[in-house]
């Protein structure tokens, strides 16, 4: 399982105590997707875990969305040779804060929404 847990951070409420064999993600419900939030320089990434161990993000080039995807892919590779079915729940935290996108992703849409909601809505309706 990889996602935000947001069910409590006491030992008895952690994912591995609630039936999940593996876990990677945030324990708290909100936080930076970067090791350090570029918008609030004193905020570190929210408490994260990899299985039962606190996860300390690398100091450079860390982005939570990519880390969640990478761990999910690693898990799939580990499970590939096995014949027993498994359940992988993969949910991203990124939809909550679009400002937590990578700079290159933000650059792709720079100025795109300057026309205003009404114009964009009409354009989308016409394309449908």
pLDDT at 41: 44
> What percentage of the chain reaches a pLDDT higher than 70?
69
State yes or no: pLDDT of 36 exceeds 60. no
pLDDT at 40: 45
The pTM score is 0.66
Query: Which residues fall within 8 angstroms of residue 110, CB to CB, at 6 or more apart?
Result: none
């Amino acid at each position: 399982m990889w996602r935000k847990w947001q069910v409590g951070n006491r030992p008895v409420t952690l994912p591995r105590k609630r039936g999940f064999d593996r876990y990677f993600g945030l324990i708290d419900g909100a936080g930076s997707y970067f090791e350090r939030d570029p918008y609030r320089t004193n905020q570190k990434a929210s408490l994260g875990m990899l299985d039962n161990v606190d996860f300390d993000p690398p100091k450079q080039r860390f982005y939570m969305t990519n880390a969640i995807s990478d761990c999910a892919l690693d898990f799939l590779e580990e499970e590939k040779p096995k014949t027993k079915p498994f359940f992988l729940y993969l949910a991203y935290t990124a939809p909550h804060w679009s400002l937590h996108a990578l700079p290159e992703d933000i650059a792709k849409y720079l100025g795109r929404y300057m026309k205003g909601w009404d114009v964009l809505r009409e354009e989308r309706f016409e394309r449908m």
